[in-house]
Structure 1
Amino acid sequence: MASDLKPPAPARRFRLPLHIHISTLFFLLVLIAGGSIAWVSYVRSAEMLERAAGDLLIRISRQTVAEIESLMQPVNASVRLLALQPVARATTLADRRSGLPAFREALRAAESVSAYYIGYGDGDFFMLLRLLSDADRRQLAAPPGAAYVIQSIAGGEGHFIFLDEGLAELRNDPRPDYPGSYDPRRRSWYIQALGSAEPIQTAPYLFASTRKPGVTVARLADTGRAVVGADIRLATLDETLRRQRITPGSQLVLFDDDLRVVAYTEPDWLAAAINGTETERPKVTSLSGGALAALVQRVPRAEGGDDLPLTAFSAGGRDWHGAVARLPVRGGRPLYLGVAIPDEEFLTDARAIRDRSIIATLLVIFLALPFTYLAARLVSRPIRELADETAAIRRFDFSSPVATRSVVREVDDLATDLAAMKRAVRRFLDIASVMAEESDFDRLLPRLVDETVGVVGARAGVLYLARDDSEVLDPAALRDASGTSLALELAPPGADMAGLVSAGERSGVGDLNAGQGARRHCAPLFGALEASHMAYLAVPLLDRKHARLGLLVLWFDEAPAADLVHFVEALSGSAAVSVETRALIRAQKQLFEAFIQLLAGAIDAKSPYTGGHCARVPELTKMLAQAACDATHGPFRDFSLGAEDWEAVHVAAWLHDCGKVTTPEYIVDKATKLETIHDRIHEIRLRFELLKRDAEIACWQAIAGGADRATEEARRVAIWATLDEEFAFVASCNVGSEEMAPARIERLQQIAARRWLRTLDDRLGVSPEERRRMGPGPALPVAEPLIADKPEHRFARGAEDVIPADNPWGFRLKVPELLYNRGELLNLSISRGTLTEEDRFKINEHIVQTIRMLAELPFPRHLKAVPEIAGGHHEKMDGTGYPRGLTRGQMSPVARMMAIADIFEALTAIDRPYKTGKKLSEAVAIMARMRDEGHIDPDIFALFLRAGVYRDYAERFMQRAYVDEVDVEKVL
């Protein structure tokens, strides 16, 4: 059962209290919610930033296009005007210099133009180049103050003429190699303009004059052979792109279809060693950092519009967002704008929002966690209390009710159910405890009804028990709610109540009105309960084989609830087991009691002279024990016996002489010295008869031989008289009523010396065992002593009849050498009584057998003292008794009481063959001497007299003739 209540524990897992789980759950929920909000905010912010960046990129694209167009429009007008000027038709340098003011005004009108020039069909070239910076001047080795330079090819001669702001010549440098290195007719702007009636715009390239990137706008003059051109510097686009940076680390690039860079946000992006050819502009893929290279390779080029999404990509170990927009340029090839923004800058705001959200979440958690912990403890406290209650139930501690309540409905329902369960288990155990405590079957039945009625709140209860081997139910107990027993005659008949439960059902529930109750003979019970109608709950009591032991019927004012029905059904099983167990115990006790009395009766019936001894000693012992329990002062004022102690006294008293079943009857009943199975005095008498017959024969033989008849007859008469007297003496010795003095023993031996003639073999007709014990017989006829101790009269003691000194029972008896000694002369010579030493030991051995027999019985614990009580009634207080030589201090009070009871019963018994019964006063006087000699307990003997036990016993068991007055005070 212990393993069921507490099965083997599984492997221990990490466990935490409920409030920790709730707090942790809150922490995780807030953390997840805060993290989710932070992440969503981050994602939304990133999306917003992407949209904003896309919008910004569109604006940058449009602004870049607008700026390019703003550069192109005035240049187109200037080129158109210059194409109409005479300079377009001039053939000499001097004529061409006349157009310088127009060139200067055109340059002043468009700051983005670095030079205006005209290429002629004969290979001549005239260009006015503006020097914007000292770097431009150093590049051309211009003199100080130079504002312009004329680069001219005329008539095969080349010149670089430096002018100041007023167009005054500062220096004229001949450049003989210039015509050979530069032919305007082979330039793309010249070729394109020749083929177009409208102004043309070249793709960006590096100007030959300044090695700066730009585009050329050219127009064919009216002459059809000269082309007017203007170099537009794109360096301003770099500044435009730098101004449009979205973040400090973002990169913008303007490039063409060939991925050649037109403008770039990074300064000095052009190599210093560029030699001025158009193809030497770097490609986007060669720019440092690799971000823009990855951009143009991985990101699709979007057409211009209102939506320009950004794409995420990685380059150089960093994460980027970027886009490429196509910029349509009127009059020229389209350009492309690429934007790359590093994520750590692009998503700074989004990440800041995310981080702030996370910090806010953590702040909420840490601020709310203590309150959450306290709230969780408050919420979980009922759970902890219920856990403590379940632990108390597991410990079977029902001392306090379940008072836990909770605002959580499920927990409160659990508390309510647990309280109900605890009450039910407690009531169940209370009833089980009551049933377990009550060992008496007759007291168990009303207590069972009382407890059940009280627990379930019934008005009354009736317990029916089935008759042995019968289905008939008889009322055994009828109790009302106050615990009062009602007359069993008020109980309805069992046959009517048995019908309240259908076959196979565990219970029956219903109502009976007055009419229904009358039909089931319930009217007397209803009247006693002052009820016109009642509800009932009938539960059958079944044994282990499901046979009906009885029926429990509970009466209520209202029909019992379902949970109460289930409780009573469960209780009925325990009640049935208890009833069955107590019934079995009672039957076993009754059977045991019958065996005890059967054995005691058999012992008394074994000898007609000791009949009633085994029945009277228990009564006298119990009378003494009761007197000791009733004593209010003296040595027995604290003496008491419980129910189990009384049972031990009862069993021990009835079995105190059970060892006598092993004692031969002829020894127990030995009334004469020669008595065995029969009294052997008759054999000796027959021998005397033979001697007398021998004397008569001798007389007649002598007369026949001539002897005097009178003399012979007188001799015969004298012999007969002697033989008669001697036999009478031998017979008196056999009775054992007188003490055998030495003179009597001597005379007995003289008489025994007479001879008689045996002519028959005394081994004929005996058993083989007896014949082996007799040994070989003498030759016949043989003269034998009249009274003899023959070898066959000695019975050897076997090893099984020897009691060793170290025996486990503590016996201290002197064991005779022989088992029996039936010698005729020996037995007749017994000085007192009729028993030989062997006979006396055999009789005394009955108590040895009693102890040994009782010690072998598996007595229950409360009967363990039976051998000690039963085996001590021949002990003496001074230690001279038998079989163990116990002293007063070694014997229990009840054992000492039984010793007095056994002696008193033996003294007053009138059915003993070897003595007559003593009068009451004589018996008390003898026992007083035994007290004085230390044989019996003086305190118990005094109790025996003062409590009047001797008188009560005499009135019940002694004949009036033997009951006389006893002077108790004198004896005491």
Structure 2
Amino acid sequence: MDATQQPFQHEYLDDDLLNRLKKLNAVGVALSSEKDGNRLLERILQAAKTLTYADGGTLYMKQGDTLKFEIMLNETLGIHKGGSSGEPINFPPLPLYDENNKPNLHIVAACAAVQEETINIPDAYEETRFELSGMRDFDAKMHYRSKSFLTVPMKNHENEVIGVLQLINATTPETKAIHPFTRSEQELVESLASQAAIALVNQRFIAEQKELFESFIKLIARAIDDKSPYTGGHCTRVPVITTLLADAIAKTKTGPQEIRDFQMNEDERYELWVAGMLHDCGKITTKEYVVDKATKLETIFDRVHLVDARFELIKRDTEIAMLRAQIDTMKQGQTPDFTAMETALDNTRQTLDEERDFLHHSNKGGEFMAEADQNKIRQIAQRTWTDKNGQQRPLLFDDKATEVLFYPPRANEQRPETDLAKFRGEIENLCINKGTLRDRERLHINHHITSTINMLESLPYPKHLKRVPEFAGGHHERMDGKGYPKGLKRRQMSLQARSMGIADVFEALTAGDRPYKPAMKLSVALTILGKLKLEGHIDPDIFDVFIHQKVYERYAKEYLKAEQIDEFDVTRLPGYSPPA
């Protein structure tokens, strides 16, 4: 129903109307800058009350085919529900259609939404078009008098109703006397409703874009997780540690000026979280057989089992040779020395078993492999076995030999170098000095940070995310300039990037899902971290904050196993300098 069909009472003086128009303009600016959803809804209703001197009001948002109560205010009764009040509104949503799917025209707010028109009621107790028994019961219970109502639908840019703004009891400022909402007040509220709808749509659009963006970030983490179960958890845990550490730095009031001055607002904190989630996104390009290499001989499977099979073939050939020797001796009319021959066979078997066990032990990655052990591997590699064609083959293949027994090439096949590299170099692999990766494999993994930087720098960021590539791309740099990929030194990196470097190392040390090592206890991980500080690997001041503010402890309580959390004296950690 059109507002012009309603009788309007007196208009306020021009200067008062001008003042309210100024307030409306100010409200529009305020609404466009509000980022919190609940506060925005509350501001809209408060602004409508202020512009019309209304005693109360309700703001509804459309939810499917209903109107949901979002905010309720009443100055006389001291009611403030929903929004920032923390007090829920327990009324059920208002249905826009009845059980026969016909428009619900008996409820004022529903009617305004369905018919997309403003409803201005001078006196509710004289109104016969709507069902207002609930209002009368409320008035009787609260000793209140509901009189004038102004109900305005809020429409978005596509002219769709997204909510309803309802005001009650317009008053005269000086006397507080209740009167009908005037034409100018109705127009003010309609204008406000239009601005409010734009603000709500914009906020919803921003929220949806943010949700979509975060979904892509989590999708990348899940993709890495699907590619390798040993890195997916890392992608989500590093931002946790980084954010905890950055928050701890912001609380620190001692130490170097850079630490004391550091602060973060919510946008900056979000920027750091995004960088943390994406800091290893380049691993999508890394071959999983390298990332997941749990043992030195592992590619798509652990080739130590092929070595086991060769040992068994050597044992078989040795036993066959002994039996043939016995037969040849008997053919010559002599009696073989069965005891000596079988003893020699047993000794050979024992030696082979010891060598096999030694190779199994060497196949596991460690912190250091002695040169004597490397030489022993090369010596064992000199053994040979006989294949099905009677060809003598080495027990272990060196980097120049190509294994074609189990993966023979087809006729005239030109096999790519990358394929051949998966099935060769057993001696070099078993002699790896530290960990399970060869130099070429380590370089391949290290390239992930270059891929990360290239991927992140190719994205068009909004202003508050401009530093994501720098934060994420520096976690493998060292303070002494010996890191990668750019060889940056400490002062060439942001404090956030240096913090992520510590988070990345600490998570890797304490992680329980890595294929090449067990999860470390806190004391061991922090000892290694302290040594890295002394070696110029990580930022010394941020390490001290990490220890002093017990960032490791807060993380450990939620993410580490109970058996990893041990007792230790932080003052004895290498390199730790407690605040003066």
**Which one of 487, 511, 519 corresponds to residue 132 of structure 2?**
519
CA contact (8 A) 2:221 2:232 kept: no
CA contact (8 A) 1:441 1:586 kept: no
Q: Distance between the aligned counterparts of 1:506 and 1:792, measured in 2?
A: 82
Is 1:894 aligned to residue 496 of structure 2?
Answer: yes
Is 1:740 aligned to residue 351 of structure 2?
Answer: no
The SS at the match of 2:322 is helix
Q: Return closer, same or farther for 1:965/1:459 CA change in 2, 3 Å cut-off.
A: same
The 5 Å alignment of 1:354-365 reads none
Letter in 2 for 1:739: F
**Which one of 431, 449, 452 corresponds to residue 27 of structure 2?**
431
State which drifts further: 681-690 or 789-798: 789-798
Letter in 1 for 2:384: R
The 5 Å alignment of 1:22-101 reads none
The SS at the match of 1:473 is strand
Note the alpha carbon deviations across 1:600-621, whole angstroms, 9 max, x for none.
Answer: 2443454344453222222222
Note the alpha carbon deviations across 1:439-494, whole angstroms, 9 max, x for none.
Answer: 23233221222223223322223221122xx1211112223469973245276853
CA contact (8 A) 2:366 2:435 kept: yes
Percentage of pairs with the same residue: 40
Give unpaired runs (5+ residues) of structure 2.
1-12, 82-86, 96-106, 171-178, 331-335, 404-414
Q: Return closer, same or farther for 1:422/1:966 CA change in 2, 3 Å cut-off.
A: farther
Q: Distance between the aligned counterparts of 2:385 and 2:133, measured in 1?
A: 93
**Which one of 646, 654, 662 corresponds to residue 277 of structure 2?**
654
Note the alpha carbon deviations across 1:729-780, whole angstroms, 9 max, x for none.
Answer: 2222212337333332222222212222233xxxxxxxxxxxxxxxxxxxx5
CA contact (8 A) 1:788 1:825 kept: yes
Is 1:666 aligned to residue 292 of structure 2?
Answer: no
Is 1:883 aligned to residue 485 of structure 2?
Answer: yes
Q: Return closer, same or farther for 1:441/1:611 CA change in 2, 3 Å cut-off.
A: same
1:476 paired residue number: 70
Q: CA deviation at 1:520?
A: 5.6
1:579 paired residue number: 200
Q: Return closer, same or farther for 1:785/1:568 CA change in 2, 3 Å cut-off.
A: same
Is 1:851 aligned to residue 474 of structure 2?
Answer: no
Letter in 1 for 2:69: P
Q: Distance between the aligned counterparts of 2:552 and 2:203, measured in 1?
A: 37
Q: Return closer, same or farther for 1:452/1:796 CA change in 2, 3 Å cut-off.
A: farther
Q: Distance between the aligned counterparts of 2:427 and 2:314, measured in 1?
A: 18
Q: Distance between the aligned counterparts of 1:932 and 1:757, measured in 2?
A: 53
The 5 Å alignment of 1:205-604 reads 423=19, 425-467=21-63, 470-480=64-74, 485-486=80-81, 487-489=87-89, 493-495=93-95, 496-501=107-112, 503-511=114-122, 513=124, 519=132, 521-522=134-135, 531-557=144-170, 558-604=179-225
Letter in 2 for 1:840: R
Q: CA deviation at 1:678?
A: 0.2
CA contact (8 A) 1:820 1:838 kept: no
Is 1:727 aligned to residue 356 of structure 2?
Answer: yes
Q: CA deviation at 1:781?
A: 4.4
Q: Distance between the aligned counterparts of 1:529 and 1:900, measured in 2?
A: 61
Q: Distance between the aligned counterparts of 1:527 and 1:592, measured in 2?
A: 51
The SS at the match of 1:459 is strand
Q: Distance between the aligned counterparts of 1:851 and 1:755, measured in 2?
A: 48
The SS at the match of 1:706 is helix
Note the alpha carbon deviations across 1:779-828, whole angstroms, 9 max, x for none.
Answer: x5432222113455897579xxxxxxxxxxxxxxxxxxx98784111111
CA contact (8 A) 1:439 1:582 kept: yes
CA contact (8 A) 2:472 2:497 kept: yes
Give unpaired runs (5+ residues) of structure 1.
1-415, 760-779, 799-817
The 5 Å alignment of 1:784-803 reads 784-789=393-398, 790=400, 792=402, 796=417
The SS at the match of 1:544 is coil
Q: Distance between the aligned counterparts of 1:720 and 1:749, measured in 2?
A: 19
Is 1:964 aligned to residue 560 of structure 2?
Answer: no
Letter in 1 for 2:342: E
Letter in 2 for 1:786: L
Q: Which has the higher strand share?
A: 1
Q: CA deviation at 1:539?
A: 1.3
State which drifts further: 824-833 or 907-916: 907-916
The SS at the match of 1:539 is strand
Q: Return closer, same or farther for 1:492/1:951 CA change in 2, 3 Å cut-off.
A: closer
Q: Distance between the aligned counterparts of 2:282 and 2:470, measured in 1?
A: 14
CA contact (8 A) 1:652 1:870 kept: yes
Larger Rg: 1
1:904 paired residue number: 506
Letter in 2 for 1:474: K
CA contact (8 A) 1:513 1:532 kept: no
Note the alpha carbon deviations across 1:108-155, whole angstroms, 9 max, x for none.
Answer: xxxxxxxxxxxxxxxxxxxxxxxxxxxxxxxxxxxxxxxxxxxxxxxx
The 5 Å alignment of 1:781-930 reads 781-789=390-398, 790=400, 792=402, 796=417, 822-930=424-532
Count of residues in Structure 1 that have an aligned counterpart in Structure 2? 515
Letter in 1 for 2:262: F
Q: CA deviation at 1:573?
A: 1.8
Q: Distance between the aligned counterparts of 2:193 and 2:50, measured in 1?
A: 15
Q: CA deviation at 1:698?
A: 1.6
Q: Distance between the aligned counterparts of 1:523 and 1:593, measured in 2?
A: 48
**Which one of 219, 223, 234 corresponds to residue 613 of structure 1?**
234
Q: CA deviation at 1:679?
A: 0.2
RMSD: 3.1
State which drifts further: 609-618 or 434-443: 609-618
2:7 paired residue number: none
Q: Distance between the aligned counterparts of 2:253 and 2:138, measured in 1?
A: 46
Larger RCO (alpha carbons 8 Å, 6+ apart): 2
The SS at the match of 2:80 is coil
State which drifts further: 482-491 or 854-863: 482-491
Q: Distance between the aligned counterparts of 2:90 and 2:365, measured in 1?
A: 69
Q: Return closer, same or farther for 1:534/1:629 CA change in 2, 3 Å cut-off.
A: farther
**Which one of 320, 329, 345 corresponds to residue 706 of structure 1?**
329
Letter in 2 for 1:625: A
Note the alpha carbon deviations across 1:616-649, whole angstroms, 9 max, x for none.
Answer: 2222222112222233444333322122112111
Q: Distance between the aligned counterparts of 1:713 and 1:962, measured in 2?
A: 51
Note the alpha carbon deviations across 1:186-220, whole angstroms, 9 max, x for none.
Answer: xxxxxxxxxxxxxxxxxxxxxxxxxxxxxxxxxxx
The SS at the match of 1:489 is coil
Q: Distance between the aligned counterparts of 2:220 and 2:501, measured in 1?
A: 20
Note the alpha carbon deviations across 1:655-676, whole angstroms, 9 max, x for none.
Answer: 2222222223332221211001
Note the alpha carbon deviations across 1:216-249, whole angstroms, 9 max, x for none.
Answer: xxxxxxxxxxxxxxxxxxxxxxxxxxxxxxxxxx
Q: Distance between the aligned counterparts of 1:611 and 1:906, measured in 2?
A: 12
TM-score relative to the length of structure 2: 0.81
Q: Distance between the aligned counterparts of 1:449 and 1:577, measured in 2?
A: 15
Letter in 1 for 2:461: F
TM-score relative to the length of structure 1: 0.49
Is 1:755 aligned to residue 384 of structure 2?
Answer: yes
CA contact (8 A) 1:507 1:538 kept: yes
CA contact (8 A) 1:649 1:894 kept: yes
